[in-house]
Amino acid sequence: MIRAGGAGLLPDRVGRPVSGCRVRWGPSVRAGSGEPYAGRVMNPEAEQSPHSQEPDTSRLEKAVRSAEQALIEFEIAVETFRVEVENFSRLHHQRLGPMYARLDELDAMIAEAVAARTGDAEDLRRAREARALVQPMPGVEELFGGWMDSEGLSPEASAMLTEKPVRPPQRVRPSDEARRAFRELVRKAHPDLARDETERVRREEFIVRVNAAYADGDESLLRELAAEWAAGPAAEAPAPSPGEELYARLEWLARRKELLAALAAELEESAIGSMIKMAPEDPDGLLEEIAEGLRAQVAEREAYLGTLVG
């Protein structure tokens, strides 16, 4: 398992020694006292350096590298199993699908034969349900002859039902105020005024929003965009320290591992995944074993149907 921030992975909080410090281990004289003082650091700047308070990130870097490698191996294993499940599912459908379809057809024929003999209302209902399982379900467009699809009634069908003509989409004519706001924003935020590539991208994205607001004739949105541009770009967040970046990386790796673990559990608990776990070394043999059972069921139902209609 990947342990983010576990024991032995986090750095201690001891500052690193600063190069250039001169440590005098012999006795010296404390200023103004005349008393000997041993072990005093003779570089005051080194004592005040903020770098001396930074934790040693070497152990944290090793933890991140180890977590990354473990995650890569785990992801390879999950993807390998996913491909196995997908391939086995396709093979299962190709080899056994016709047998399952034949069993459904025989069940429907048997139910219909029984209902024809008895004429009982319950037998007739069972026969209709069995036949419905065999017949493919028509699509929405097929049922409604093109009048309805997954999005609902088509405009033409709606117009025919309500006896109203199909109206073309309403054209938006921006007001003079919207036109003035639009032109002013374009003059200020045009991408050609950018001084670097980052600024150009920001201006291009902003102009896209301006164009959309103008196309809709939305004066209030144009005013909001003008205020946004006047306020300037959002202040950039301070860059994280190396330690913060490493901790954030560990947290991301842990979240990614949880997602992969959930996917692996879903694959293992699926019907196909459970079948693969039954015979991981010989899935083809498992398919043949299932096929033998299905062939026996088909033969049994065919014999029973023969007694009903013979």
pLDDT in tens, 45-96: 444 444 434 457 889 999 999 999 999 999 999 998 998 899 888 888 888 8
Question: pTM here?
Answer: 0.49
Name the pLDDT band for 156 (thresholds 50, 70, 90).
Answer: low
Q: Which residue has the higher pLDDT, 99 or 52?
A: 99
Per-residue model confidence (pLDDT) at position 258 = 95
176-216: CATH topology is Helix Hairpins (1.10.287)
Q: Calculate Rg over the CA atoms of the chain.
A: 37
pLDDT tens track for 224-262: 999 999 998 877 778 888 889 999 999 999 999 999 999
Q: How far apart are CA 115 and CA 109, in angstroms?
A: 10
Per-residue model confidence (pLDDT) at position 1 = 34
Q: Domain map of the chain by residue range?
A: 60-134+242-310, 176-216
